[in-house]
Amino acid sequence: MGERTVWVAALAAALLCAAFPSIGNGVVFVAGFCTLAAGLFPGWRLSLTRHAAALLSGALLGLAALLLGDRFEVRYVWLYSGAELPLYLKLGNLWGGDEGTTLLLAAFCTSLVAVNRVVPWRFDVTALIGAALALTAAWLGPFSATPAEWLAGAASQGMNAHLMNIWMLAHAPLVLAAYAWTLALASPALAALAGDQAIWPEVALAHARRAWALLTAGIGFGMVWAFEDAMYGQVWHWDPVQTAVFAVWCLLGAHLHGIAGWRVGRPVWRWMPLAALLAAVMTLVAMGVTRNEVLASSHRYVGATASPMYFCLAAILVLAGGVMAWYGRRVAPLPQRVVPAAWGLRLTQFVFIALGLLAAGHLAWAYLASVLGWPRPEDLKPFFETLDNWRRGRELPALRAAFAQWDIDGYALAGVALYLLIGIGLVGGWFFCGRLTRRLGWLTLALAAIVCAVTWIEGGPLTRDYMGEGVLSQRIVAVLPRIDAALVAGAYLALGVIAWSVFTARRTASKGYVLSLGLVHLGAVIALWGALLATALNGYSQRLIELSDAWQDTAHGYAFRVTSLAVERAADGGRTKGAGSFRALAQVELKSPSQSVVSGQTLYRDARSAVEGYSGPVRQICEVLDYRYARYANTPGYVLHPFIDRGWARDVQLWVSSAAAVAALEGGPQASQALVVLRVFPFASLLWLGLALASTGALWFATRRPRHGHIKEVS
């Protein structure tokens, strides 16, 4: 009977929200209230959370139906969708706004409570977090009616053009699901800090593995998306949200490395649950940063108001962690025994925690500097002087304000993080080699440390081969020897994990466990190699060309030509302004140094007038090469997507900014020219391969129930 009522509640909620949107916010509020009661009263917890999860799932289905049905009388649909969008993009708008993502995260959290019957205390922290999210979603009003004046002005606002990408169908929901599983670690982590559970529960281990696997995959899809968008043009740039997510990823990694043999009272036993709790805290911080306008960010829900709730929840968890740790001081220490392999895991755990806290510290510093009004250092404003010479009219105050807004000092963060990456590589290689024989572990560690030191002092391949042909800050050029040392340390870890996986898989029945563990570590190292090599050895060429069939040579051995340009003003469901947006599709051909030719197209879309949208070639070069100016020049209706040729040796981007040509075609004063920028990223394929390997290995763990044999003391 219980199962039937749950399904009936979900179906009824979906039908009611779709047919009568005016009651949708009430349905979400009732679900939030039920989840709150479930968190406080254990006797009713299972029934209440199951029905609350059903109501929230039904509300999501109802909102999806409204999006698919172009029900623009609902404010959420009017704000984020458009009638001309394909169905998959309309569905993707379910997480296109603050209201939808908060509702989705609330549904995820409540569903986890509904299926998890192991609660360490009378109060279920995950249920209370889910209740706060659901009540916030009800307050944000995803089912509220569209104001009449909005409907009179336009049929809909349209989708943010940057989100009109198929990769967003995977990136956002994977990250949100990972967030939910990370938040579910708060309850067992608090209980563990208080000493109220002897061992780490298997269900919490499963949650942690799934969170790490989905977050890794979600970050990977986000990197693919960012590589195709002018707002980024590269896979990573320490955006405030990226920095917070990186901290979550590192803290989850620290937690997972501390589980083996964990018992209350053992040496440094508090670090493992502390890492889990901090991961939950940083998850809430990441959600808050995405909705906060204090720092300059490329990830933002414009006009969102939910950030105070997320920051308050994060502060409450920190306070609760302090109270539980104080309460847990009564735990008597267990007899200590020194196990070298266990210390290897602990050292790795400490380094991951240090990485997470380093990222969180830089994020906090940026917020503090912004709130106190400290001036942003001039060395963090690349291209500003160039842009100052090319500004239009009275633009200087706005341009100066944009570059004065604080964000993360990624150069300083990356410089310190390299020390920790070297440490992870050396400790990890020693750990896996030591699992074969203790002597092998110490001998290989000594050899790897010597090679790292020599590489650092004398310089490795990056230091020697760097030619200055790309876009790289001098602050990164200065640490190229450190990057070389990190690559050597990563190679040591990769060789160690390969040797251990192959040798151990031959002797054990748990071949899937061993090989998947090897894939996770090997994939992480390969992805790191790819990211560092592609970033350090990137190159670019630029050319202002006339539209013709003539081949244009570049300094990197490539040649290209733009064979045609098609411009249309047909509505596509994206953001528009005034007379509507236009799309310019340039047909391009790219000839590699080996004389092979590939063809494709680039997209230039703008919701502004074609003539007004043209900013001059120098400004557009800055836009392609530096995400800070791209963020300044961005509007929700403007995108620039390149043609990308992927290969094992390098990935090549061909950017065609055809604003001047479009203006000429539409009667403007400019000549029929196009700015073309070629960017080359050597060994970027290693990044994609590494992410695929790590995600594959992590998903094996995520889909299998933990076994006690895999949680025992490593010896």
Residue 393 sits in which domain range? 375-408
Asked if 263 and 364 sit in the same domain, the reply is: yes
What band does 710 get if pLDDT is binned at 50, 70 and 90? very low
- What pLDDT is recorded for position 471? 77
Asked if 563 and 429 sit in the same domain, the reply is: no
Asked if 488 and 393 sit in the same domain, the reply is: no
Higher-scoring residue by pLDDT: 388, 688: 688
Asked if 238 and 192 sit in the same domain, the reply is: yes
Residue that finishes a domain, picked among 159, 194, 217:
159
**Average pLDDT for residues 233-251, to the nearest whole number?**
91
The pair phi, psi for residue 674, each rounded to 5°, is -140, 140
3-state secondary structure of 219: helix
Residue for token digits 């700015």? 675
Apex CA 206: angle with CA 714 and CA 337, to 5°?
20
In a domain, 164, yes or no: no
DSSP classification of residue 160? -
491-500 pLDDT tens trace: 999 999 999 9
Of 112-116, 230-234, 681-685, minimum mean pLDDT range: 230-234
Closest to 636 measured CA to CA, from 657, 659, 605:
605
What band does 579 get if pLDDT is binned at 50, 70 and 90? low
Residue for token digits 């090469």? 625
> b/e string for 503-518 if b means 16 or more Cβ within 10 A?
ebbeeeeeeebbbbbb
- 612 has a pLDDT exceeding 80: no
- 2 has a pLDDT exceeding 70: no
- 396 has a pLDDT exceeding 50: yes
Higher-scoring residue by pLDDT: 223, 477: 223
- What pLDDT is recorded for position 608? 73
Residue for token digits 């947006």? 581
What band does 377 get if pLDDT is binned at 50, 70 and 90? confident
Asked if 554 and 676 sit in the same domain, the reply is: yes
**Average pLDDT for residues 621-627, to the nearest whole number?**
81
Q: 376, exposed or middle or buried, with CB in 10 Å at 0-12, 13-18, 19+? A: middle
Asked if 500 and 649 sit in the same domain, the reply is: no
20-30 pLDDT tens trace: 999 999 999 99
DSSP classification of residue 560? E
- List strands edge to edge, sheet with 643-646: 539-546, 673-682, 650-657, 643-646
- List strands edge to edge, sheet with 582-591: 552-553, 559-568, 582-591, 597-606, 639-641
How many angstroms separate the Cα of 428 from the Cα of each of 483, 606, 657?
Answer: 17, 49, 46
In a domain, 715, yes or no: no
Q: How far apart are CA 340 and CA 441, in angstroms?
A: 10
Asked if 461 and 429 sit in the same domain, the reply is: yes
Asked if 496 and 616 sit in the same domain, the reply is: no
662-687 pLDDT tens trace: 777 766 666 677 888 999 999 999 99
- Specify which residues 546 forms β-bridges with: 673
329-358 pLDDT tens trace: 887 666 666 566 677 888 999 999 999 999
Apex CA 691: angle with CA 686 and CA 695, to 5°?
150
How many angstroms separate the Cα of 665 from the Cα of each of 177, 587, 613, 671, 674?
Answer: 46, 16, 14, 9, 12
Apex CA 468: angle with CA 462 and CA 469, to 5°?
110
583-605 pLDDT tens trace: 888 899 999 998 899 999 998 88
With beta carbons less than 8 A apart as the criterion, state whether 248 and 281 touch. no
Asked if 77 and 144 sit in the same domain, the reply is: yes
Residue that finishes a domain, picked among 372, 398, 431:
372
In a domain, 37, yes or no: yes
Asked if 460 and 472 sit in the same domain, the reply is: yes
DSSP classification of residue 319? H
Of 82-91, 171-180, 190-199, 617-626, minimum mean pLDDT range: 617-626
- 1 has a pLDDT exceeding 60: no
Q: How far apart are CA 568 and CA 583, in angstroms?
A: 5
Asked if 475 and 561 sit in the same domain, the reply is: no
N-to-C CA span, the chain: 49
- Looking at the structure of the chain, the number of domains it has is 5
Q: How far apart are CA 115 and CA 113, in angstroms?
A: 6
Helices (H) and strands (E) in the chain, counts: 28, 9
Asked if 215 and 361 sit in the same domain, the reply is: yes
With beta carbons less than 8 A apart as the criterion, state whether 295 and 243 touch. no
In a domain, 165, yes or no: no
